[in-house]
Amino acid sequence: MAGEPQTIFVRPMRQPRAGERYVVAVRGLRDKNGEEIPASPLFRALRDELSTDVPQLEAERERYDEIFAALAAAGIDRGSLQLAWDFTTNTQADLQRDFTAIMPQVVASAEAGDLGYSIAEVSEFPGTQVPLVVRGTFTVPSCLEGDSGPGTVFARDLEGLPDCSNTATANFWIAVPQAIYEAKTPAPVAVYGHGLLGSGSEAESVAKKNGSLIMAGTDFWGMSEADIAAVIGMLGGNFVGGRTLGERLVQSTVNFTTLAYLAQGELAQEPALQGLIDPSTVYYVGGSQGGIMGATVTAMAPNLRRGVLVVGASNYSLMVWRSTAFEQVNSVWAATQPSTQNREFLFALYQAVFDVADPVTYRSVIEEAGDALLLIESIGDAQVANIASEAMARSYGMRMAGPSVYPVWGIEEAPPGFTGSALLQVDTKKGRCLRSRICRLAGTTGRMEQRSTIRRCRGSSGRSCSRSGLELLRWGLRSGVSSAGSVRDCRLRLAGVREGPAAS
């Protein structure tokens, strides 16, 4: 707004190394008239070794001598500096402290398979795209206080670590596509993560677009329909009680982990689903919010080894200001915090609290487990900014699957035979709806709905069409993320089973 101070964000384009000290130097900034902006009097006193009567500033001189020495060693002239400072990143152990305490508790409970579930409704609609939907609830280990409802935070033991000895009840939706229902042939399950402030019922609509995976959805506690009032209240109170958002999202990863084990165990024997579920493998699929949180879910669940993150990203404080989905919430927040700059500052501080759920926090867990992720980026996405998707891909060391829509700094094209995590760009606005990479795969699978989906996507807006990336799942999730690096030899696989022939 006119008259408000202007904020300049300095953002790393990949995750800094954990437990490291960094120095930031600012020089060459000019005002709107082209004049170089002078250093502030306090920083100039440090830079030019001018004495002051400010004790707080004088106490900083030894630290700033180290900063200036490090910059000089990097070839940066001290006199050119307009501002400089240092910071130290958190250690990996501290960032993952809660996660490390939660994971063994949850896996032990979920693997035991005796938590239980209840079927509320079985709906059959023969001849439709999703002829079978099973809805119900299941019991999950709860790491939250009280009733585990909106606004709750972790229950902690005497050492301050999450205690998951409580239980709670979560909803589930299981949707069986027509091809699986009619063939009566066992098919893999993909647990599905829904979009911003949505619900697990979205699994039903996703199953219409994906014919060879049974979709099992549950709610992302912390950012589901039930949490809307709590999220608005948190922002209205300038993040008072803000721990609930990140900690409930981590609890959601517990819920998804439990559902994944349930799909491989008791649900496979459920009469309504008997003979339909292949319990040997379970995958993760998520879109928008579910794409963002997908890596965190995959890190928590040992049995989720492959995941497709449709418009996934990391670093909430980077992406929210670029998201149309945040506009309405931001306007509500403005009623109690009218300063745009203060809101920007508060959200930047809040990222440190949200790190407990942010997917970039769990890169090392994904790498050590040998899991593979396919991150699908929709060019020009108005809700999940490309800059945040690409920052996540760089942080994870992903390769580019197939020819890129445009060169992305720090991300190399995957060589022939590459297996591992990859970034796949989708540019639907230009009518390039995965055509260079996926059209041949449509021939490989032999399913007409893939070809028809690609035709519908041409010329549509990037946001709606990005979902067509789910059509990759039939083939990709079975096979891995791998790219031969050329349009002619367009093969993707999710490391492990087989590589299908490229169709002409």
Complete DSSP assignment for 243-287: HHHHHHHHHHHHHHHHHHHHHHTGGGG-TTTTTTEEEEEEEEEEE
Q: What is the pLDDT of residue 142?
A: 98
In which element (H, E) is residue 21 found?
strand 21-26
pLDDT tens sequence across 161-219: 999 999 999 999 999 999 999 999 999 999 999 999 899 999 999 999 888 899 999 99
Half-sphere exposure of 148 (CA within 13 A, CB side): 22
User: How much of the chain, in percent, has pLDDT values that exceed 90?
Assistant: 74
Q: What is the pLDDT of residue 431?
A: 54
Q: Amino acid letter at 119?
A: I
> Taking 70 as the threshold, does the pLDDT of residue 379 lie above it?
yes
Cα(239)–Cα(308) distance, integer angstroms: 31
> Taking 50 as the threshold, does the pLDDT of residue 428 lie above it?
yes
Q: What is the pLDDT of residue 489?
A: 27
Q: Amino acid letter at 86?
A: D
Q: Of 88-97, 153-162, 285-294, 412-421, which gets the smallest average pLDDT?
A: 412-421
pLDDT tens sequence across 120-173: 999 999 999 999 999 999 999 999 999 999 999 999 999 999 999 999 999 999
pLDDT tens sequence across 458-481: 333 333 333 333 334 433 343 343
In which element (H, E) is residue 183 found?
helix 178-183
Stretch 285-302: mean pLDDT: 97
Cα(425)–Cα(427) distance, integer angstroms: 7
Q: What is the pLDDT of residue 308?
A: 97
Q: What is the pLDDT of residue 192?
A: 98
Q: What is the pLDDT of residue 487?
A: 25
91 secondary structure, DSSP code:
P
Q: Give me the helices (H) in 282-434, please.
A: 289-292, 294-300, 316-319, 327-334, 340-354, 363-369, 386-395
Angle at Cα 323 formed by Cα 320 and Cα 329, nearest 5°? Answer: 70
Check if the beta carbon of residue 469 is closer than 8 Å to that of residue 376: yes
On average, the pLDDT of the chain sits at: 85
